[in-house]
Structure 1
Amino acid sequence: MEKHRGPGKANREGISILELSTLFPDEDTAAAWFEALVWPDGRQCPRCGCTDTRETAATAGLPYHCRGCGKGFSVRIGTALERSKVPLRKWVFAIYLEMTSLKGVSSMKLHRDIGVTQKTAWFMLHRIREAWGEEQQEAFSGPVEADEAYFGGLRANMHKDRRRELTGRGTVGKTAVAGMKDRNTNRVAAQVVPATDGETLQAFVRDHAEAEAVVYTDEHRAYAGLSPDYNHEAVQHSVGEYVRGQAHTQGIESFWSMLKRAHKGVYHKLSPKHLDRYVREFAGRHNVRGLDTLDQMATVAVGLVGKRLMYRQLIADNGLDSGARS
């Protein structure tokens, strides 16, 4: 396979979609790839953990039999792919497209590219986002940059009466997201937050940054209580100060810019109901972008283990606007 560099990263190896087709020419190669990642120590029953298993005639998509519990299973059981009828080879291509599209991939594009319905593509993408989960990552040692951003309510997508109603009202109709970037590791943490007051934003910082770390923010007074637990410095954006020595928030603002470009150019609407899934996906993809493409894909496949997302859960009413599927 010809080696070439991944987009935007001179130190990692990317692969083309033609090379991916060569690596995964059929369903068997896709299944073998998933099995090697889901069962790195050898095949085991996802129901009871028994390793005494055997191959059997594939019945109802269950090619293996567990001698321990007596049940059939496949590599999908116990992962976010459980009960999916989409071929594993299409799942491989979906993961590839998601990981190699810097601004993400819409369900409309995915359904055309891999030959599934738009509804199926939308569900697949949300299942893939389960790989990033809500697990607590290791606290950032810093220096870190903390900031907040708002998403939703693109005026171009609104009825003119709604645009008139919100004129001059700033963040009304938008959802707040808190974010942090560690300058040493380049890792990002981000999540939807219910408010941008001191209690909420300081709790976010304390959850993700080690005590006594250097924390850079803007002048938002919600961050004012971080000292003396942190070495806190703020730049005064309101008076045109964006950089003062090492103090700035340009790193996390760059992450917001990417997410906002995806919002406007790919998804068009990030609904409050599903926004946190998109935020976790972009943070997760950012954090593995230095890996080779196949390693990025492997990170997703491993992240799907132990996750489950059913369609009825995805569309269930949680009191938030769900918007159009993108």
Structure 2
Amino acid sequence: MGQHFLLSPDCRTLTVMDLARITEAKAYAWFKQARWFKTEGKPYCPDCGTLRCYGMTRSRFKCSDGACKKVFTVTSGTAFAFRKLSFKKMLIAIWFAANSVKGKAALQLSREIGVQFKTAWVLLMKLREVVAARRETMRIDSEVEIDGKYIGGHVRKKNKAEDRVDRRLKENRSPDRLCALAIRGRAPGSPTFTRVIQNEDGEAAWAAVRDHVSRDVTVYADEHSSYDDLLGLNRMKRVNHSEAYATKEGYNTNLVESFFSRLERSYVGIHHRFSMKYLDWYVADVAWREDFRGRANGFQTKTLLGLALNRPTSRFLCGYWQGNCPPDLIWEKPKKDDPEPS
């Protein structure tokens, strides 16, 4: 048997020692290459697109077009707009975020790079929002597995045994508990689609498969009634987990259960709890890590940096500590008047 990828030197092409030795100018060059990769790091105007730009003081550029004359920087209009950290410190923070296999805690990052908790928290949340945005155009063309996992809503048990209730019963569950719906492709390189919903129900599963899974592939699911209606969309193969984890024919949902195992370890071992308000971004972040776990950490860092520098400024996290705040990120059934996605 060959050596596991994570045990091989191929997985660690970029170390924190490598980043500690780079200069601020080198880190700035990383940002320029990631922002303007189409022109090999040469800046162009974000408004009119012209390459006729010249440098100014404080790492600024100005468009030479007479009708535009926009002044911009390498982070203008991106997820890192209005940044105050140095480029080197931001690059090291992105490396720590990408290199953590089950997620990164803001308190730990604040100690590692020497910033306030608020700064570390917003930076990590911006990266989570960035990787969550990839779901907008996600389409899975291989066999998929679908399942849901309930997260959060912990209720402390009563002290006396006679006062305790069975939390497995629906009427005794916490109202704050939410369900993470996941669709995972079986083919190598297939993405993992996630969505946070109020309850594991058929309408949410139907909408997710309809919008993000090819009609030509087979869907594997358990016997939960939420997936019964998917027979009208795709071929279905089911496994009854009350009898076995895999059928005699080999039907199983082990891949999506593996993802939920990583999500559980992230919840319990890294963050200890997720904010239910931002649960959707946390789950999408774990899905991104699951999809890129077979790539070197240098590739992961550059990919995450590139995604952030080619994503518009967040309407929710820019000015977060000044009162701006995202809405609830729980999927809701579209109204009848809303157009269906093409």
TM more than 0.5: yes
Contact 1:6 1:14 survives alignment (8 Å): no
8 Å contact from structure 2 (residues 5, 294) kept in 1: no
* 2:307 aligned to which of 303, 308, 313: 303
Return the offset for 1:8: 5.5
The answer for the alignment partner of 1:102 in structure 2 is: 101
Corresponding position of 2:183 = 180
**Residue 11 of structure 1, CA deviation:** 5.6
In structure 2, what is the equivalent of residue 32 of structure 1? Answer: 29
Distance 1:138 1:182 in 2: 11
What secondary structure sits across from 1:211 in the alignment? coil
Q: Deviations over 1:184-224 (max 9, x none)?
A: 13431111123321111122122221113111111001111
CA positional deviation for 1:70: 2.4
CA RMSD of aligned residues (A): 2.6
Q: Distance in 2 between matches of 1:178 and 1:149?
A: 7
TM-aligned CA distance change 1:246 to 1:207, over 3 Å: farther
Residue-pair matches, total: 309
Other-structure match for 1:84: 83
Q: What is the CA-CA distance between 1:89 and the residue it aligns to?
A: 1.0
SS at match of 1:251: helix
Contact map agreement 1:150 1:176 (CA 8 A) in 2: yes
Deviation per residue, 1:227-261 (Å, 9 max, x gap) = 25312011111234434423101101110110111
- Equivalent residue of 1:110, what SS? helix
Structure 1 residue 129 corresponds to structure 2 residue 119:
no
**Aligned-pair CA distance for 1:317:** 6.7
Q: What secondary structure is seen at the aligned counterpart in 1 of 2:183?
A: strand
- Residue 146 of structure 2 is matched in structure 1 by 146
Q: Structure 2 stretches of 5 or more lacking a match? A: 331-342
Q: How much does 1:127 deviate?
A: 1.2
- Normalised TM-score (structure 2): 0.82
What runs of 5+ residues in structure 1 fail to find an aligned partner? Answer: 322-326
Note the C-alpha offset of 1:294. Answer: 1.9
**CA distance in structure 1 between the partners assigned to 2:191 and 2:329 by the alignment:** 29
Counterpart check, 1:65 vs 2:62:
yes
Give the C-alpha shift of residue 160 in structure 1. Answer: 5.3
In 2: Cα distance, 1:277 partner to 1:319 partner: 11
Work out the CA distance in 2 between the residues paired with 1:128 and 1:288.
15
Paired residues of 1:148 and 1:177 also in contact (CA < 8 A): yes
Aligned residue number for residue 73 of structure 2: 74
Q: Deviations over 1:18-48 (max 9, x none)?
A: 12323xx222111100101111212112243
* Residues 193 and 102 (structure 1), Cα distance of their counterparts in 2 relative to 1, 3 Å cut: same
Where does residue 284 of structure 1 map in the other structure? Answer: 288
* Residue 201 (str. 1) matches residue 198 (str. 2): no
Q: CA deviation at 1:153?
A: 2.4
- Structure 1's 166 and 36: CA in aligned 2 closer, same or farther, altered over 3 A? farther
Compute the TM-score of the two structures, normalised by the length of structure 1: 0.86
Q: Which one-letter code corresponds to 2:86 in the other structure?
A: P
Q: Which AA in structure 2 matches 1:103?
A: K
Cross-structure match for 1:51: 51
Q: Distance in 2 between matches of 1:241 and 1:13?
A: 35
Q: Distance in 2 between matches of 1:48 and 1:264?
A: 48
SS in 1 for 2:112: helix
8 Å CA contact retained: 1:145, 1:216:
yes
Shift of 1:138: 4.2
Distance 1:200 1:9, change over 3 A: farther
Q: Deviations over 1:263-303 (max 9, x none)?
A: 01111111221011111111122222222222211211221
Contact 2:128 2:284 in 1 (8 A): yes
